[in-house]
Copies of this chain bind each other. A is one copy, B any other.
Amino acid sequence: MENNDCLKELERHKKLLSATLLLNSSLEPSYIHNKTIEAITEIVSAEVGSLLLYDEEKDELFFDVALGDKGEIIKKIRLKIGEGIAGSVAQSRKSLIVNDVNKDPRFFRKADEQSGFVTRSILCSPLIYKQKLLGVIQAINKKGNDIFTDEDLNLFESFANIVAIALENANLYNKLKETFFQTSFALAEAVEKRDPYTGGHVKRVTEYCLAIGEELGLDKETMEKIELSAILHDIGKIGIDDYILRKPSPLEAGEIEVMKSHPQIGLEILNKVRHLSDIVVGTFSHHEKYDGTGYPKGLKGDEIPLIGRIIAVCDTYDAMTSNRPYRKGLDDIIAIEEIKKQRGKQFDPLIVDAFIRAFERGKIISQNKRELNHEN
């Protein structure tokens, strides 16, 4: 091999190797989407990179990420397989160079019209993993008014291969996580349905908790822990007998004691799971009170895990605003006043503040309000 050829080949391999390391260093699809778009411009010297994912159910391509101020417009565009250059590539599963899009009848003009962007040239490759179409990547406008070459195409195809692997791994991971969370939710809902009057509680409490987490600016990992913890917070009720759970009148002292064992039962159930210790704390501590008067441990202030403090507010708010056989749910405004009164007493003041903010933004929608809107 000539030295010049070798140097080119080496450059190409260096780019691909660092792209692989980068893309495989996360199982987060959004990370991979963003890094792919960034890497495209680098790999083949393009002005812009884009990634279209394949929606198998609808047999369409869509933009999951689109940067810039027209990003939101671009994200609404969906291409049928066969439509536009991207759709043609998805259909034929063969890469394509179009160095003057104006001369190509396949070019889908709408994206440019809506975004104000001017596309001159496109290099497009399909993302295929084990025969399966995952999407396409596009390099748009070769820098320096230049054209895309067969060499670019070659490199872009190798890069597409790398993207497909990283994407597939992230998809698998996320599909599994989704299945895990949905299964937990389905079982938690089934447990809650034993008491016909608590329908929707788990769902609403989970939504409220996530709204608080968002107000607090918590990271994705913590948000996921909060979600699973909220889903499973009442799972211990599996161990409470029907006659207590379904009693249509207020419980008597002895029955209240049995009912109060549900955080402990939840702990015992979930403690058998090896990697769930961060989740179990929320299940176990959601009836603790900030001033130390709660149960089962009588923990005080920050001794109560954050997840427990968050669930406590949401759980109480939902219990107050939901209808029971022996009483109608409180009006939202009255319930919010009750929550405020417990700021620093039953509840962590910072969590109450975040909850109020979320409420004011319209993110806390009580059962009452949902029924008015005919929502679940």
Contact = CB atoms under 8 A, between A and B. Distances in A.
Interface of A: 1-3, 6-7, 9-10, 13-14, 16-17, 20-21, 24-25, 27, 161-162, 165-166, 169, 172-173, 175-180, 182-187, 189-191, 193-194, 235, 238-239, 241-243, 265, 269-270, 272-276
A185 B165 CA distance: 31
Contacts of A1: 3, 7
A269 to B, nearest CB: 5
B238 A190 contact: yes
A169 to B, nearest CB: 6
A269 B22 CA distance: 40
28 contacts: A3-B3, A6-B7, A9-B10, A10-B13, A16-B17, A24-B165, A27-B169, A172-B173, A173-B176, A176-B177, A176-B180, A178-B274, A179-B273, A182-B272, A182-B273, A182-B274, A183-B184, A183-B270, A183-B273, A184-B187, A186-B272, A186-B273, A187-B235, A189-B269, A190-B235, A190-B238, A190-B239, A238-B238
A135 to B, nearest CB: 18
A175 B161 CA distance: 27
Nearest to A3: B3
Contacts of A272: 182, 185-186, 189
B182 A180 contact: no
Contacts of A177: 176
A117 to B, nearest CB: 33
Given A178-B275, A183-B273, 15 more contacts: A1-B3, A1-B7, A2-B3, A20-B21, A24-B24, A24-B166, A25-B165, A173-B173, A175-B275, A178-B274, A183-B183, A184-B187, A187-B187, A187-B238, A187-B269
Contacts of A24: 20, 24, 165-166, 169
Given A14-B13, A175-B275, A178-B275, A239 B183 contact: no
A73 B147 CA distance: 61
Which of A9, A17, A183 is packed against the most chain B CB atoms within 10 Å?
A183
Nearest to A270: B186
Nearest to A232: B183
**For the complex formed by this chain, how many copies does it contain in all?**
2
A126 B24 CA distance: 19
A191 B27 contact: no
A176 B185 CA distance: 16
Nearest to A245: B242
Contacts of A243: 242
A180 B175 CA distance: 12
A191 B17 CA distance: 50
A17 B13 contact: yes
A10 B165 CA distance: 23
A154 B191 CA distance: 57
A27 B27 CA distance: 11
Contacts of A173: 27, 169, 172-173, 176
Nearest to A228: B183
A285 B35 CA distance: 45
Contacts of A14: 13
Nearest to A243: B242
A179 B13 contact: no
A183 to B, nearest CB: 5
A323 to B, nearest CB: 22
A10 B182 CA distance: 47
Nearest to A7: B6
A264 to B, nearest CB: 13
